[in-house]
Amino acid sequence: MTEIVRSHIGGTLVESDGSFIDKHYPATGEVIAKVEIANDVMLDEAVAKASEAQREWAKTSVQERGQILIRAAHALREANAELSRLEVMDVGKVYSEAASADVPSGPDALEFFGAAIMTYTGVQHQWPGAVGYSRRVPIGVCAGIGAWNYPAQIALWKSAPALAMGNAFILKPSEMTPLVSMRIVAIMEEAGLPKGLMNIINGDYRIGSAICQHPGIAKVSLTGGVDTGKLIMKQSADSLKRVTLELGGKAPLIICDDADLNKAADIAMSANFYTAGEVCSNATRVFVHRSVADELIAMMVDRTSRLKVGDPMADDVDIGAVISEKHLQKITGMIAKGIDEGASLAVGGNRVHPQGFEGGYFIEPTILTSCQDDMTVVRDEIFGPVMSVLIFDDDDEAIRRANATHYGLGAGLITRDLARAHRMGDQLEAGNVWINTYNIIPPDLPFGGVKQSGFGRESSLFAFEAYSDVKATYIAIDE
Ligand code: NDP
């Protein structure tokens, strides 16, 4: 029987009007669930329940809030295998990635923010005849609208700082990945999170738009595409909502002539093929110094040709499915366009139909060489397992070309020269720069973009700023 996914409001599953969206398992193409689209009355109810719960939650001590969130983190860790399977059913990514990194990064955030709020203090002021203090206070009901690539992480990276700060939260997952976040909320409530503090409203962009316009919601945080980010800002303008945007990217990875090539090949491949390339910060423009290019490309082509694509649950599979048939068509269309515009297909490029998973959305990891900066594959986000290799001759040229994009989420650099690493790292226009590694985001490191990759930060103490106001108190003491 196909599962019905409803909305989770005030601790209960709430039925809507009976309009559904099919949820497909990307590895088989089969419909495995039907997502019931929430209506505006349900959103009003979620906001009312969240407001009521938030008023009580904000009165609790930071110790109590922190301890509840840390307990929830432990419960989620215990359920890691179950949640990782749901993440795979949602996204089609390989289980080993879900279970080792993507899903655990959610409880890591809850634990970090639960602990951090216990030590988070304000600023004290002093003047002749007066004293004062400024502190961060909750803003009320916050909302998160999620992309489909990291549903567990998105649910918790957004809600953890919001809840720790004393807010309530309403999440709208992508209509394509509703499963794992529903279970996450249930587990958090079982672990003691008061009902109404964490709600899920399911549906597509229409309910997302209603969230942006709702006067009872103080803040919205989006993870999604640049065009969606612009719409979110417009839709949120009338209610003057605070907005943070985690948007797309077309990150550069610069591999210098002194790089350890063995390491560089591994980093470049993981920065392109992890989660079948469906990662916003992926380094899809790989700039390689001319003197090492032939050797490095040969190493990457050899290793890429040995990657296994198929059943995401199988231990020996490296690359799972992409999210949908439509997305697969977009990726293959982009590869064809790249070749049309003059790129060479060094490896991959084909759709595959693994045995037993013939209806799934699988594509070989792909490397395009002889790329030029003005090609569509080099300029536009593909969000699939497609690496574009570009050749450079000197550091200044590499930096100039790496920065020639309206995106600015991530950037990477591989060199053994410490001074060069600092100098070039400083010049890269990106919210996150990784040197001799890529895509590592511990919970205490801020993550987010500059330029059109968005604004605001997730992870780290900086994330509290997105979910709080500053309140200043001035006290006259000279009677
Ligand atoms: P979309 O921008 O299409 O959608 C993101 C979310 O926004 C979905 O839940 C979607 O709903 C919702 N939405 C769409 N239109 C509106 C609207 N008008 N009002 C309110 N909500 C709306 O992104 P994808 O889901 O396709 O994800 C891929 C994109 O996300 C890529 O560009 C990627 O780079 C970016 N991304 C950024 C990350 C970051 O941290 N910077 C991380 C991961 C992804 P629905 O789809 O259900 O209709």
Q: Which residues pair with 31 in a beta bridge?
A: 24
Mean pLDDT over 127-138 rounds to 98
CA–centroid distance, 9 to ligand 1, in Å, is 22
What gap in Å lies between CA 233 and CA 245, rounded to an integer? 9
Strand 20-24's sheet: what is its strand order?
3-5, 31-36, 20-24
E strand or H helix that includes residue 41: helix 40-57
| 111 catalytic residue (yes or no) | no
- The proportion of the chain whose per-residue pLDDT surpasses 70, expressed as a percent, equals 100
Which of 280, 371, 381, 451 is catalytic? The answer is 280
Is 158 one of the annotated active-site residues of the chain?
A: yes
Rounded distance, CA 466 to CA 459, Å? 11
List the structure tokens of 45: 């109810």
pLDDT given for residue 2 in this prediction: 82
Ligand 1 atom nearest residue 175's Cα? 47
- Quote the CA–CA distance of 209 and 374 in Å, as a whole number: 34
Q: Measuring from atom 8 of ligand 1, which residue has the nearest CA?
A: 174
The predicted structure's pLDDT at residue 479: 76
Overall average pLDDT of the 443-468 stretch: 98
Could you give the 3-state DSSP secondary structure of residue 410?
strand
What phi and psi, each to the nearest 5 degrees, are found at residue 131?
A: -130, 170
| pLDDT digit string, tens, across residues 25-70 | 999 999 999 999 999 999 999 999 999 999 999 999 999 999 999 9
pLDDT in tens, 429-442: 999 999 999 999 99
CA distance 277 to 93: 10
Q: Reduced to 3 DSSP states, what percent helix, strand and coil does the chain have, rounded to the nearest 5? A: 40, 25, 35
pLDDT at 1: 64
- Ligand 1 contact, 148 CB (< 6 A): yes
pLDDT(232) > 70: yes
Q: Give the dihedral sign, CA 82/85/90/93.
A: positive
The pTM of the full predicted model, rounded to 2 decimals, is 0.97
Give the chain's mean pLDDT.
98
- Clarify whether 371 is annotated catalytic: no
Q: Token pair for residue 415?
A: 């060199």
Question: Quick count: other Cβ atoms within 10 Å of Cβ 12?
Answer: 12
User: Mind listing the pLDDT tens digit for each residue in 363-400?
Assistant: 999 999 999 999 999 999 999 999 999 999 999 999 99
C-alpha–C-alpha distance, residues 76 and 68, integer Å: 12
Respond yes or no: is residue 280 known to be catalytic: yes
